Structure 1
Amino acid sequence: MYTPGSILYFTPFHFPNGAPAKNKYFIVLYSNETTTIIATLPTSKDHIPEQVNKKHGCIEMPSIHFNCYYFEANKPITDDGWGFPRETYVYGEQVAEFNKKNFDDNYAVEGVDYDKVGNLSNTEYTQLLECVKKSGRTKRKIRRILGVKI
């Protein structure tokens, strides 16, 4: 379940900050043996500046401190050719650390609590990870865990 590159779909996802639960995709970026999952909850909310030509992949604009990874709708991104049904975005500031025990307690049964959608292709996973790591908006602790020297 916590293999880096896995895309999970929670039905519903319970937000740690108390926001109302809703169905949500979840991409695992890192997981250690015991306690920690580093992941992102991709969103369909487009915050890309209007003047930017959207192209699948990392969009980096250091001059305005903007970074995101953009997934085109229905573009195959997994080993078995699955793609997000809508345009989807990963923003560095939304990458978070999650407690593995809480996940084990809340999402115990695949097919009931969550579905495994697939695994990002190696290329897609590597590009997403590099994009998140170079984002100045990603928390320092997370960048350090992902292997960025700070």
Structure 2
Amino acid sequence: MYTPGNILYFKPFVFPNGHAPKNKYFIVLQTIGDNILIASLPTSQDHIPRMVSKKHGCIDEPHYQVNCYCFQPRQIITKNDFAFPVETFVYGYQVDQFDKTNFDSMYVVDGVDYEIVGELLDHEYESLINCIKNSRAVSRKIRRWLGAEI
């Protein structure tokens, strides 16, 4: 379940910040030790300024304070041919750490509480990690955990 590159779908996802639970995708970026997950909650919310061109992959425009990874709709991104149905974004500033112990207690049954959607293609995972770890929008601690030389 916590393999880096896995896309999970939680039914529903309980937000640590207290927002109302809802069904949500979750991309595991890295596991640290026994209890820490570095992950992203991808979103269909487009916060890219109009003057920045959108393409599949890393969009890093420090001038416009934008760092995200864009998944184009219906483009295969996993080893089992999964594609997001709509344009989907991973914003660098939203990458966070999560407590794996909490996940183990809340999401117990595969196929009921969560579903493993697929594992990112190797090149897709590497591109996503490089996009995030090379961004100044991401905290130094997370960039270090993802292998950035800081």
Is 1:96 aligned to 2:96, yes or no? yes
Counterpart code for 2:93: E
**Using the alignment, how far apart are the partners of 1:60 and 1:76 within structure 2?**
22
C-alpha distance after superposition, 1:54-88 (max 9, x if no partner): 11000111222211100001110001211001110
Moved over 4 A (4+): none
**Using the alignment, how far apart are the partners of 1:147 and 1:88 within structure 2?**
24
Identity in percent: 56
**Using the alignment, how far apart are the partners of 2:141 and 2:108 within structure 1?**
28
1:140 Cα deviation (Å)? 1.4
Secondary structure of residue in 2 paired with 1:59: strand
- Between 1:39-48 and 1:29-38, the stretch displaced more is 29-38
Gapped regions of structure 1 (runs ≥ 5) = none
Contact 1:12 1:24 in 2 (8 A): yes
**Using the alignment, how far apart are the partners of 2:43 and 2:36 within structure 1?**
22
Counterpart code for 1:51: M
Corresponding residue number in structure 2 for 1:122: 122
Contact 2:57 2:71 in 1 (8 A): yes
Query: Residues 48-87 of structure 1 correspond to what in structure 2 (within 5 A)?
Result: 48-87=48-87
**Using the alignment, how far apart are the partners of 1:53 and 1:92 within structure 2?**
17
Contact 1:65 1:136 in 2 (8 A): no
Contact 2:29 2:38 in 1 (8 A): yes
Kindly report the root-mean-square deviation, in angstroms, between the aligned alpha carbons of the 2 structures: 0.9
Secondary structure of residue in 2 paired with 1:70: strand
**Using the alignment, how far apart are the partners of 2:64 and 2:32 within structure 1?**
34
C-alpha distance after superposition, 1:28-77 (max 9, x if no partner): 00013411100000000001110122110001112222111000011100
Secondary structure of residue in 1 paired with 2:52: coil
Counterpart code for 1:117: V
**Using the alignment, how far apart are the partners of 1:70 and 1:32 within structure 2?**
25
What is the aligned residue count? 150
**Using the alignment, how far apart are the partners of 2:134 and 2:46 within structure 1?**
20
- Between 1:77-86 and 1:58-67, the stretch displaced more is 58-67
Secondary structure of residue in 2 paired with 1:73: coil
